[in-house]
Amino acid sequence: MYISNFQDLLVWQKSHQLVRRIYSEVRLPQEERYGLESQIRRAAVSVPANIAEGCSRRHNKELIHFLNIALGSLNEVKYYVILCKDLSFISVQEYDSLYQLCVEVDKMLNSLSYKLRNKE
């Protein structure tokens, strides 16, 4: 399934929204700038980036591979969001909102992957 414009995918749009929210809402102490803050940002960026890269592939199996990488990165983001809450770097409200967006993206990625696997 070749997708000519990855930006048309709702899952890409939602994951891009997650990246923008991570960048704007997750502000960690100076000593975490090159540690946790860098890690959560890189993991978040990896989600829509892998969706985009997978969309350029000609076969469903390849796209599914990149969706699985995106899911792995999304699970990293989920953990980092939990950790940020537990360390009081973000509020419970920020946590709830960010985690819910992660869950939404997770469901969309799994649904797309499932549909592609059943097309083969």
- Is the pLDDT reported for residue 2 higher than 60? no
Q: Which domains does the chain have, with CATH numbers?
A: 6-119 (1.20.1440.60)
Q: What is the pLDDT of residue 101?
A: 98
Locus of tokens 């009081």:
88
Q: What is the pLDDT of residue 42?
A: 98
Token pair of 22, please? Answer: 């991570």
Nearest to 21 by CA among 90, 87, 79, 86: 90
Q: What is the mean pLDDT of the chain?
A: 94
Locus of tokens 């059943």:
118
- Is the pLDDT reported for residue 74 higher than 60? yes
Cα–Cα distance list, 42 to 4, 45, 53, 106 (Å): 25, 5, 16, 17
- Report helix, strand or coil for 57: coil
Interval 29-54: pLDDT, tens: 898 888 999 999 999 999 999 999 99
Compute the half-sphere exposure of residue 92: CA atoms within 13 Å on the CB side of its CA.
Answer: 0
| Angle CA 28–42–3, to nearest 5 | 140
Give the pLDDT mean for 68-90: 97
Give the pLDDT mean for 94-119: 96
